[in-house]
Amino acid sequence: MSDCIFCRIVRGEIPASTVYEDEEILAFNDINPLRPVHVLVIPKKHITSLSTAGVDDTLVLGRILAKANEIACSQGSADGFRVIINTGRVGQQEVPHLHAHIVGGTDPVGPMLKRI
C-alpha cells in the first residue's frame, strides 16, 4: 500500500530504529515507547489487521511470534514480555498495518498495560 506508514518504513522511505529484519518481517522501536522495551514487529507484506489476515498469512504470523523472544532478549527484556496486537476499531488499532507490540523491560509491566 503506497501511502501506508509502515509500508513506507519497509521501503525505507521513512526512517525507523530497526532492531531485527529478515525476508518476511521487520522489527523497530516504537516512536512513542510506553515501556523501556517497546518494539513493533510487522510483516513486510501489507496486512491491514488480524481482521483481514487469512490462512495464507499463517507463516508470517507465526514468524512474528516465533521471533518475539529473540527480539525481546536483544533489547533487554530477557525475563519475559507482553505481545499485544490491537485489532480494528474495537481494539483501538491506530495504524492499519498489522503489528505486534512487544513490551517489556527489566520490571513487570504496570497496570496500564496489564489490562487482561
Give yes or no for residue 14 binding Zn ion (CB under 5 A). no
Query: Nearer Cβ to ligand AMP, position 12 or 55?
Result: 12
Under a CB-based contact definition with an 8 Å cutoff, are residues 6 and 30 in contact?
A: no
Q: In this structure, what DSSP letter does residue 76 have?
A: T
* DSSP for residue 34: S
Q: Cβ of residue 31: shortest distance to ligand AMP, in angstroms?
A: 4
| Least separation in angstroms between CB 38 and Zn ion | 20
Q: Among residues 20, 46, 50, 84, which is the contact residue for Zn ion, using CB under 5 A? A: 46
Question: In the complex with Zn ion, which residue's Cβ is closer, 44 or 84?
Answer: 44
CB atoms within 10 A of CB 24: 14
Q: How far is the CB of 111 from ligand AMP (least distance, A)?
A: 18
Catalytic residue list contains 97: no
Rounded alpha-carbon distances, angstroms, from residue 95 to 3, 70, 86, 87, 106: 12, 24, 9, 10, 27
Residues assigned a catalytic role: 99
